[in-house]
Amino acid sequence: MARTLINLPRSARRGEVIEIRTLIAHPMETGYRPDASGAVVPRDIIRRFACTYDGEEVFRAEFFPAIAANPFLAFTTIATASGTLTFTWEGDNGFVQTETASITVT
Amino acid sequence: MAPDRKPARLSRRAVVSAPALLAVVLLRRPAGAAPALMEAAIRDFTGHAPVSPGKVRLEIPPLVENGNTVPVTITVESPMAPDRHVRAIALFNGGNPQPNVITARLGSRSGRAVLSTRMRLATSQRVVAVAEMSDGTFWSDSAEVVVTLAACVES
Amino acid sequence: MTRRRRAMLVAMLVLSLGGAEAVGPGERRSGFDDMAPETRAMQLDDMANPGMLWVAEGEAAWRRPAGPAGRSCAGCHGEAEASMRGIATRHPGWDQAAARPISLEDRINLCRRERQGGEPFAPESDDLLALSAYVAHQSRGMPIALPDDPRLTPFREQGRHIFEQRRGQLNLSCAQCHEEHAGRRLAGSVIPQGHPTGYPIYRLEWQSLGSLRRRLRNCTVGVRSEPLDEQEAVALELFLMFRANGMPMESPAIRP
């Protein structure tokens, strides 16, 4: 399990645009880097990120090796209703991580 | 910016005696194939549709002290309404081994068309952000970034 | 011309390229002050600072029972916000049993071995970095406050000696770069005064968190020197912390 940090407001007014910021601990090994012996370290990156809001996808992204280690991502969504946001990172070597956060919308 | 400035010529002796610690700042020329790769990646993203400059704002420092973690923010002018919004934002580079950085899909539920992340820059190079609108048009902004070589690298 | 002379000449040539004046005596600057605005912003925003990933991991580890004793750090020390406040400002600190100063990392491992009955964490392991980042983070904003303890004095003086002694194939002392030439540029980088205010740091060069020990190892490799042994390294860390007494802690800091 990789450590993640997810930041979004706990509550918002209906229709308000909220900013969501995420950090996840991951080396994002590019697959282009030689190790001490000269052998290329195999690629190990997060390839996909998705955010769903009460089950509906509101944002997704495809990552490439040029995304920095410990990926940071900030994006926005409209606060529509009180509910749950689900964040999923998927990557090489079967990497899958899912986190949730709830929001109260008034 | 002169991206194709020639690297400083150093004699072998100077190179051998100059430790990596004291590496000179080199404005290295991007690898010859990389900009072409970037053009191809952008064509893949747009499906060969024309790309116009404008509507997109790419914020990235012009001079970075370490290419491992470069903050970048892309903002696109759009009402983000159900009938008029940004469908996708993609970021490309012309000097890394691979031209893609990130491709994000968004929509009217995003509220605003803005995306921040951090990228790697192997060397000084051009970075291009392209946005796909709901009407099928493509818009872009680009920036030249100079990457200075750090003096004290991990050995 | 000998190879060493030539290396020195190259060193001086590159050093002389910097335009900034060396910082006057008594004017102490954190490496933070010389970073690019976007790197400073990354450090100041806890939701953008990747070092906070280790702090969060350390907080979880603080509460997790470990070792055959099944004891957590919190089991003895309670809430770190209270019990660990200021601890990092006083490390390396005196250890009665060892009769010498030990680093914060060593203190954590000592606790782990003697109180939890566990295996010590490997140096630079994520486990050790996470706990030391969490503990050091409790001192963020507090001034470094190494005590004027006579037992520390000989070690501090040993550290000062190491700091001022020329070493390695480049024949450079720490002081030559980080005092005489601090504030000037070496290649694209401003030479910092070398105050350890933010360890463990997230160094962009490392793409990871790392300890002061790792940074010092970088420096010894940089001047082509034999590595410092354990005692020398702690002595140098102690001297550097004394030298930075009064400066605010920044852990986890970001550095290029």
Quickly list DSSP for B4-25: TPPPPP--HHHHHHS-GGGPPP
- Of B81, B57, B56, B65, the closest CA to residue B137 belongs to B56
Give the integer Cα–Cα distance in Å for C250 and C198.
4
Per-residue pLDDT for chain C (256 aa), expressed as one digit of tens each? 445 544 444 444 344 443 344 445 568 999 999 999 999 999 999 999 999 999 999 999 999 999 888 999 999 999 999 999 999 999 999 999 999 999 999 999 999 999 999 999 999 999 999 999 999 999 999 999 999 999 999 999 999 999 999 999 999 999 999 999 999 988 878 999 999 999 999 999 999 999 999 999 999 999 999 999 999 999 999 999 999 999 999 999 999 9
State the span(s) of chain C assigned CATH 1.10.760.10. 3-45+148-255, 53-137
Chain C neighbors of A75, CB-CB under 8 A: none
Give the integer Cα–Cα distance in Å for C94 and C231.
13
CA A43 to chain centre: 19
Give the integer Cα–Cα distance in Å for B75 and B67.
22
How many CB atoms are located within 10 Å of the residue A97 CB?
A: 18
* 8 Å CB contact of A23 and C208: no
Is residue C219 part of the annotated active site? The answer reads yes
Q: Mention every residue, 6+ apart, whose C-beta is less than 8 A from residue C217.
A: C227, C228
The enclosing H or E element of B74 equals: strand B70-76
Neighbouring chains to A with at least 3 Cβ pairs closer than 8 Å: B, C
* 8 Å CB contact of A17 and B111: yes
Q: Encode pLDDT of A55-92 as tens digits.
A: 999 999 999 999 999 999 999 999 999 999 999 999 99
CA A27 to chain centre: 14
For residue A59 the two structure tokens come to 């944002």
Give the domain ranges of chain A: 1-6+48-106
* 8 Å CB contact of B152 and C219: yes
Give the integer Cα–Cα distance in Å for C102 and B12.
45
Give yes or no for B103 touching C (CB within 8 A). Answer: no
Q: How far is A80 from chain B (nearest CA, A)?
A: 9
The CATH architecture that domain C3-45+148-255 belongs to is Orthogonal Bundle (1.10)
The pLDDT assigned to B34 comes to 79
Chain B neighbors of A20, CB-CB under 8 A: none
* 8 Å CB contact of A3 and C53: yes
- Of C74, C89, C83, the closest CA to residue C144 belongs to C89
- pTM given for the model: 0.88
Q: Which domains does chain B have, with CATH numbers?
A: 12-147 (2.60.40.2470)
CATH topology of domain C53-137: Cytochrome Bc1 Complex; Chain D, domain 2 (1.10.760)
Of residues C10, C50, C206, nearest to B154 (C-beta): C206
Give the integer Cα–Cα distance in Å for C29 and C33.
7
The pLDDT assigned to B155 comes to 57
For residue B67 the two structure tokens come to 């290419």
Strand partners, C80: none
Give the integer Cα–Cα distance in Å for C254 and B38.
31
Q: Predicted confidence band at B15 (pLDDT cuts at 50, 70, 90)?
A: very low
Give yes or no for A21 touching C (CB within 8 A). Answer: yes
Rg (CA), chain B: 18
Give the integer Cα–Cα distance in Å for C140 and C249.
5
Strand partners, B114: B75
CB A100 within 8 A of CB A53: no
Give the integer Cα–Cα distance in Å for A24 and A47.
13
CA-CA-CA-CA torsion for C218, C220, C221, C226, nearest 10 degrees?
-140
- Of B117, B135, B152, the closest CA to residue C205 belongs to B152
Strand partners, C186: C189
The pLDDT assigned to C26 comes to 61
